[in-house]
């Protein structure tokens, strides 16, 4: 547990503070789902967006965006989330097919992978997020009579509180390999909370476990991006001031820390995957995505 302030989350729940970012990602996934060249399909995403008063009027199809692909938020940024979803879908499925049966989604938000992906038998998906976010998710999925394709265990807790006890009480087994995901999460957490989270994942992970996470390299330079079209349009169109939500403390070198603990870690840019898939964002001038890195780490078997 780390005794750090709670300044970034604001109102508890999906419609306040950083919870609202989960709705933004859901809207991006809804748009991605209906693209003719979709990278990832999430049929639940638009239901989340429509169910919350704060986002009920947001677009869930590209046709609803007046300036279409030219819109920095619903064009390029939403495509970024679509690509991220696809890459991490593939990563999680690869990991469970090579042995891990426990999946832990850290800051799960409105991630519907438990319902969307074809998990092999015996998988259990733990979803950690704050109570208000998981309660909203439960209500929407319940209304759709959605059925998970693996055992699904919501773990309502703030990651700055004692989430280890909550996770182990929920049935997580430290002796069995696991795959962990921190997607769109670490840049909202204080430096100490990220370090604690990475150390704790290492401590709870048996050999053969895997972890993927997203970081921003240049978070301390973020204020230079204040006028970047991506951040400006997110603030203007949906009222999310990402630069205000990001934690701007100097970031720990989590990939390096894991390597020091014996994990193998590869650090990739999103653009690597855009090239691999033949679609997705590519670098541009004054690019708010230039410092984003996706890290894939594996703990060797004993
Ligand atoms: C941008 S959303 C990403 C959600 C999901 N991982 C995805 O990619 O769709 C960030 C999520 O992190 C959660 N989060 C942020 N800080 C948290 C904290 N301290 N404890 C638990 N969850 C947190 C938010 O509630 C939100 O659901």
DSSP bridge pairs for 106: 128, 182
Residue 234, C-beta contacts closer than 8 angstroms, at least 6 positions apart: 24, 72, 73, 77, 240, 241, 242
Q: How far is the CA of 273 from the centre of ligand 1 (A)?
A: 23
- pTM for the complete prediction? 0.94
Note the helical H segments in 144-228.
Answer: 163-169, 191-204
Phi, psi dihedrals of residue 183, rounded to the nearest 5°: -100, 120
Length of the chain: 302
Residue 207 and residue 177 in contact, taking contact as beta carbons nearer than 8 Å: yes
Distance, C-alpha 54 to centroid of its chain: 20
Per-residue model confidence as pLDDT tens digits over 39-73: 999 999 999 999 999 999 999 999 999 999 999 99
Q: Pull the structure tokens for residue 294.
A: 């996706």
Residue 190 near residue 4, CB atoms below 8 Å? yes
| Helix, strand or coil, per DSSP, at residue 181 | strand
* Domain ranges, ordered by start, for the chain: 19-298
CATH architecture assignment, domain 19-298: 3-Layer(aba) Sandwich (3.40)
158 alpha carbon – ligand 1 mean position (Å): 9
Q: Point out the ligand 1 atom lying closest to the alpha carbon of residue 193.
A: 19
Q: How far is the centre of ligand 1, averaged over its atoms, from the C-alpha of 151 (Å)?
A: 21
Distance 302 CA to ligand 1 centre (A): 32
pLDDT (tens digit per residue) in 194-217: 999 999 999 999 999 999 999 988
Question: What's the gap in Å between 195 CA and the centre of ligand 1?
Answer: 17
Atom of ligand 1 nearest to the CA of 160: 19
- The residue ranges of the chain whose pLDDT is under 70 are 1-12, 14, 218-223
Residues with Cβ < 8 Å from 276, sequence gap 6 or more? none
- Ligand 1 test: best mutation among 130, 138, 181, 216, most atoms within 8 Å of CB? 130
24 backbone φψ class: left, alpha, beta (φ>0; ψ -120 to 50):
alpha
Cβ–ligand 1 distance for 18 under 6 Å, the answer yes
Q: Is 82 in the pocket of ligand 1 (CB under 6 A)?
A: no
């Amino acid at each position: 547990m780390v005794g750090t302030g709670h300044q970034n989350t604001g109102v508890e729940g999906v419609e306040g503070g950083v919870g609202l970012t989960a709705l933004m990602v859901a809207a991006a996934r809804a748009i991605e789902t209906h693209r003719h060249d979709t990278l990832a399909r999430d049929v639940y995403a638009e239901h989340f967006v429509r169910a919350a008063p704060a986002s009920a009027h947001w677009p869930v199809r590209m046709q609803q965006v007046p300036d279409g692909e030219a819109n920095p938020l619903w064009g390029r940024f939403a495509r970024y989330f679509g690509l991220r979803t696809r890459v991490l879908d593939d990563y999680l499925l690869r990991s469970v097919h090579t042995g891990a049966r426990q999946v832990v989604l850290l800051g799960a938000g409105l991630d519907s992978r438990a319902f969307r992906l074809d998990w092999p038998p015996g998988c259990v998906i733990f979803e950690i997020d704050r109570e208000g976010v998981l309660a909203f998710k439960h209500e929407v999925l319940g209304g759709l009579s959605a059925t998970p394709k693996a055992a699904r265990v919501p773990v309502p807790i703030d990651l700055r509180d004692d989430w280890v006890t909550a996770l182990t009480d929920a049935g997580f087994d430290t002796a069995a390999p696991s795959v962990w995901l921190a997607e769109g999460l670490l840049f909202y957490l204080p430096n100490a909370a990220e370090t604690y989270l990475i150390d704790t994942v290492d401590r709870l992970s048996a050999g053969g476990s895997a972890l993927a996470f997203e970081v921003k390299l240049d978070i301390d330079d973020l204020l230079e991006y204040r006028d970047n079209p991506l951040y400006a349009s997110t603030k203007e169109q949906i009222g999310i001031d990402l630069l205000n939500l990001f934690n701007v403390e100097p970031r720990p070198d989590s990939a390096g820390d894991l390597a020091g603990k014996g994990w193998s870690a590869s650090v990739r840019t999103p653009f690597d995957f855009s090239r691999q898939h033949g679609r997705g964002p590519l670098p541009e001038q004054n690019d708010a995505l230039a410092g984003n890195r996706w890290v894939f780490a594996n703990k060797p078997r004993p």
